[in-house]
C-alpha cells in the first residue's frame, strides 16, 4: 500500500469513523452506521458513466449545478470499491478468462471468471467484487471450494492455507443471475434494435464492471492479458475487446465467440456488444480496423466511420503508435452515445457530426467532425493505455482526451481553430470544486475534469512557450507512461523534470482548488504604470502570461505579490491573452 493511500485512509478515519479502517481491513464491520448519510454513487447521474462525455443536453451558458458544489459523501459500497485495502494490495492481477453465457429471453447471465494473480505478500484472503443481485455459485482453487463473505458488492475470499508471496494462483469464480440495469447507460442493457432483434450492450464505468461479472473492481491493478468467451444464441454476433479468435457452435442453440486481449485492460473497458451486427473493415498500416453496425445503418456507418482513419493518423502523429495494434481498432454501433471500451469503442452519435446533432462547443468547429469517434477513440491513449490509478484522478482520462479533441482539430485545420474550439469549452466550466477528488473512496470528479482539464493543458503549452518542446513533452510523456496506471503526481513530476520548470503550483491551482488564477491589474488615472499580481490559492503560484495587445504581446512574470510595469496602454486597451491562458482577469 502506498503512503498516499494510507494518508487518504487516515483522512477518512478522521471524518467518517474509527471503524472505517477496520472495515476496509477486516472487511466485515458491524454495520455502516459510520458512513455519512447514504448517497449511493449510482444515484448521481454523473456516476453512471463518467468517462463518457457529459450529456449533450448541457446548456452552453454557465449555470450552477448543485451536483458540482460538493462531492457526494461516500457510502459503504463506494468505500469498499474505492479503497485499495489489504486484501487487494496483497496481490497483483495477471489474467482473466471470462466465460459468460447470455440468455436474452431471461435477461440473465451465467459464467465463470478464471482469475490468475501473483501474491505480493503472504495471505489467506483476497477481495474480488460482484454486485447483487448476481449470485456467487462457487469459487474454486483447483478442486477445492473456497469460503467467501459478501459485503456491499465486495466478495472476500478465504483460502484454507496461506498463499505465499511471489507465487501465482488461479481461481475460478462461478456466478449467475439477473444483473441490474442502472445508471446513465444502463451498465448492461437487454434491448431490441429497431428491427426487433436482440441488442445487448454493456457500459459500466461509473457503476463498476462487477455489475455484470466478477472481477477485482478497482482502477489501480489490471490484468496483463484477458480472454473472453461469450456464449450467445446462434445467429447473433458478439463484439468484445481484443482480437477475434473464432466462434464455435456449441450444439445447444448457442455459439461461443472468443476474443483475446493482448494488453492490460481496465475492468470497465471489458464489453459485450451482442446484436444483429454487420461488419466491414479497413486498415491503417498494421492496424486492422473493424466496424460493426446494424444492417439498417450500414450505409451511414460506412460514410461516418471513415473518420476513424483520420483520427488514428492525428493521434499517432502526436503520441505514437495506436496502443492496441495487436488487438486492432473497432468501432461498434451501440444504443447510447458512446464509450471508450478498449479496442472496441462503442458509438451511438446518430451518424452525424457534432455531438448528438449539436455544435458541441458552440463555435462552429464541432460540426466538422464526429465528436464521439474523435473523443472516445482518444481514450485509447489516455484512459485505456495510460490509466488513472484511482477515479479521483480521472482528469488523466477526460482532461487529456478533451485536449486531444483540440489536437485533432489542430492537425486537421490548424492552431487557430484548435484554440477557438477549446475556448468554446469555457462556458461549460463551473469552478465549484477541485478536479482531483478524494482518493480511495471511488469518488467521482466534477465535470470540470473535461473542459477545465483541457484548458489547463492548453495553458501549459503557453507557459512552456515553445511548441517544439510542447509536442515533444506530450509525445514523450505518453510513451513514458503508456500501459501504466498513474496518478496526478506522476504527471506533474514528469513535466517538472522534462521542462526544468516548477509547474507544481500551476497544476495544483487548476486541479486541487476550485478557482482558477486571477490576474489582478491596477491602473492609475493616466497610462504609464500598471500594478499586477496573481490572486491564487497556491501561495507560490507564479505563471508567466502574455499581456498588451494581440499584435504586440509581452510576457509578464506575475507572482502572488504586487509588481509594477510601464505601459502606454489605457485600461481598456490593455489586454490579456485569455485565448491561450485560462485565467480570470480583474482590471481596476
Contact 408, 314 (CB under 8 A): yes
Compute φ and ψ for 470, nearest 5 degrees: -65, -50
- Between 220 and 375, name the residue whose CB sits nearer to Zn ion: 375
Q: How far is the CB of 355 from Zn ion (least distance, A)?
A: 12
Smallest distance, Zn ion to C-beta of residue 401, A = 5
Site residues (CB under 5 A) for Zn ion?
51, 398, 401
The smaller minimum CB distance to Zn ion, of residues 9 and 52, is found at: 52
Three-class DSSP labels, 393-430: HCHHHHHHHHHHHHHHHHHHHCHHHHHHHHHCCHHHCC
- Residues in the chain, total: 588
Strands (E) in 461-541, as ranges, are 485-486, 518-523, 528-535
- 96 forms beta bridges with 115, 226
Q: How far is the CB of 353 from Zn ion (least distance, A)?
A: 18
List, in order, residues 6 or more apart from 323 with CB less than 8 Å away: 263, 380, 381, 384, 385, 482, 483
H/E stretch holding 209 reads none
Nearer to Zn ion, 51 or 343 (CB): 51
3-state SS, residue 253: coil
The nearer residue to Zn ion, 187 or 505, going by C-beta atoms, is 187
Cell numbers linked to 39: 448517497
Least CB distance to Zn ion at residue 466 (A)? 29
Q: Which CB sits closer to Zn ion, 24 or 455?
A: 455
Burial category of 405 from C-beta neighbours within 10 Å (exposed 0-12, middle 13-18, buried 19 and up): buried
Q: How far is the CB of 347 from Zn ion (least distance, A)?
A: 13
**Nine cell digits for residue 333:** 454501433
Nearer to Zn ion, 340 or 410 (CB): 340
| Nearest-approach distance from CB 391 to Zn ion, in angstroms | 13
Nearer to Zn ion, 97 or 482 (CB): 482
What is the number of helices (H) and of strands (E) in the chain? 14, 29
Give min distance, CB of 54 to Zn ion, in A: 9
Alpha helices per DSSP H over 546-585: none
Q: Which helix (H) or strand (E) is 308 found in, with range?
A: helix 307-319
Whole-number Å distance between alpha carbons of 426 and 548:
22
Q: Rank residues 290 and 340 by Cβ distance to Zn ion and give the closer one.
A: 340
Cα torsion angle, 352, 419, 506, 60, sign: negative
Burial string for 31-45 (b: 16+ CB within 10 Å, else e) reads ebebbeeeeebbebe
Shortest reach from residue 376's CB to Zn ion, in Å: 7
214 vs 378, beta carbon nearer Zn ion: 378
Q: How far apart are CA 90 and CA 464, in angstroms?
A: 41
The strand pairing partners of 552, in sequence order, are 549
CA–CA distance, 67 with 377 (Å, rounded to integer): 27
Supply the minimum distance, in Å, between the C-beta of residue 36 and Zn ion. Answer: 29
**Cβ closest to Zn ion, residue 398 vs residue 410:** 398
CB of 311 to Zn ion, least distance (A): 14
Closer CB to Zn ion, 187 or 338, in the complex: 338
Tell me how far, at minimum, the Cβ of 2 lies from Zn ion, in Å: 26
Helix residue spans in 32-92 (DSSP H): 66-69, 76-82, 86-89
| 451 close to 402: Cβ distance less than 8 angstroms | yes
Amino acid at each position: 500500500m502506498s503512503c498516499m493511500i494510507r494518508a487518504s485512509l487516515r483522512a477518512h478515519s478522521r471524518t467518517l469513523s474509527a471503524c472505517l479502517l477496520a472495515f476496509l481491513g477486516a472487511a466485515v464491520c458491524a454495520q455502516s452506521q459510520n458512513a455519512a448519510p447514504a448517497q449511493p454513487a449510482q444515484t448521481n447521474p454523473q456516476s453512471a458513466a463518467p468517462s463518457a462525455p457529459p450529456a449533450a443536453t448541457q446548456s452552453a451558458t454557465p449555470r450552477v449545478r448543485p451536483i458540482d458544489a460538493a462531492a457526494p459523501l461516500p457510502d459503504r459500497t463506494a468505500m469498499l470499491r474505492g479503497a485499495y485495502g489489504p486484501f487487494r494490495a496483497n496481490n497483483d492481477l495477471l489474467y482473466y478468462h471470462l466465460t459468460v453465457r447470455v440468455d436474452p429471453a431471461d435477461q440473465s447471465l451465467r459464467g465463470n471468471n478464471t482469475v490468475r494473480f501473483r501474491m505480493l505478500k503472504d495471505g489467506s484472503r483476497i477481495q474480488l467484487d460482484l454486485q447483487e443481485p448476481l449470485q456467487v455459485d462457487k469459487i474454486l482453487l483447483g478442486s477445492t471450494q473456497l469460503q467467501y463473505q459478501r459485503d456491499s458488492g465486495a466478495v472476500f475470499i478465504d483460502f484454507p492455507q496461506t498463499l505465499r508471496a511471489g507465487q501465482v494462483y488461479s481461481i475460478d469464480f462461478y456466478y449467475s443471475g439477473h444483473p441490474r440495469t442502472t445508471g446513465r447507460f444502463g451498465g448492461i442493457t437487454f434491448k431490441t434494435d429497431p428491427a426487433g432483434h436482440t441488442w445487448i450492450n454493456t457500459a459500466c464505468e461509473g457503476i463498476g464492471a462487477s455489475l455484470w461479472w466478477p472481477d477485482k473492481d478497482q482502477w489501480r491493478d489490471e490484468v496483463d492479458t484477458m480472454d473472453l468467451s461469450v456464449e450467445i444464441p446462434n445467429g447473433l454476433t458478439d463484439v468484445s475487446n481484443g482480437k477475434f479468435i473464432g466462434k464455435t457452435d456449441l450444439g445447444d442453440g448457442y455459439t461461443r465467440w472468443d476474443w483475446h486481449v493482448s494488453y492490460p485492460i481496465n475492468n470497465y473497458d471489458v464489453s459485450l456488444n451482442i446484436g444483429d451486427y454487420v461488419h466491414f473493415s479497413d486498415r491503417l498500416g498494421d492496424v486492422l480496423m473493424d466496424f460493426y453496425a446494424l444492417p439498417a445503418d450500414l450505409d451511414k456507418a460506412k460514410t461516418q466511420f471513415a473518420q476513424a482513419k483520420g483520427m488514428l493518423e492525428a493521434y499517432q502523429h502526436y503520441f505514437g503508435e495506436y496502443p492496441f495494434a495487436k488487438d486492432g481498432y473497432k468501432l461498434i454501433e451501440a444504443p447510447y452515445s458512446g464509450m471508450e471500451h478498449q479496442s472496441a469503442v462503442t458509438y451511438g452519435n446518430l451518424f452525424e457530426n457534432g455531438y448528438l446533432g449539436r455544435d458541441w462547443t458552440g463555435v462552429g468547429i464541432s460540426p466538422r467532425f464526429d465528436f464521439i469517434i474523435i473523443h472516445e477513440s482518444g481514450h485509447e491513449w489516455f484512459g485505456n493505455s495510460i490509466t488513472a490509478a484511482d477515479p479521483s484522478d480521472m482528469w488523466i482520462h477526460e482532461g487529456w482526451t478533451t485536449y486531444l479533441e483540440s489536437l485533432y482539430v489542430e492537425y486537421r485545420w490548424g492552431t487557430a481553430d484548435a484554440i477557438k474550439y477549446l475556448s468554446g469549452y469555457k462556458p461549460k466550466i463551473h469552478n465549484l470544486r477541485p478536479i482531483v477528488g478524494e482518493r480511495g473512496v471511488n469518488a467521482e470528479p466534477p465535470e470540470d475534469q473535461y473542459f477545465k482539464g483541457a484548458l489547463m493543458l492548453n495553458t501549459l503549452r503557453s507557459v512552456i512557450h515553445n511548441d517544439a518542446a510542447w509536442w515533444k513533452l506530450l509525445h514523450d510523456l505518453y510513451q513514458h507512461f503508456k500501459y501504466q496506471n498513474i496518478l496526478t503526481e506522476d504527471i506533474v513530476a514528469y513535466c517538472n523534470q522534462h521542462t526544468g520548470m516548477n509547474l507544481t503550483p500551476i497544476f495544483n491551482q487548476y486541479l486541487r482548488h476550485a478557482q482558477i488564477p486571477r490576474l489582478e491589474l491596477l491602473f492609475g488615472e493616466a497610462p504609464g504604470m500598471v500594478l499586477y499580481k496573481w490572486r491564487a490559492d497556491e501561495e507560490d503560484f507564479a505563471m508567466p502570461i502574455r499581456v498588451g495587445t494581440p499584435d504586440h504581446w509581452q510576457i509578464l512574470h506575475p507572482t502572488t505579490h504586487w509588481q509594477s510595469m510601464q505601459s502606454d496602454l489605457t485600461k481598456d486597451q490593455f489586454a490579456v491573452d485569455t485565448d491561450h491562458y485560462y485565467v480570470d482577469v480583474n482590471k481596476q
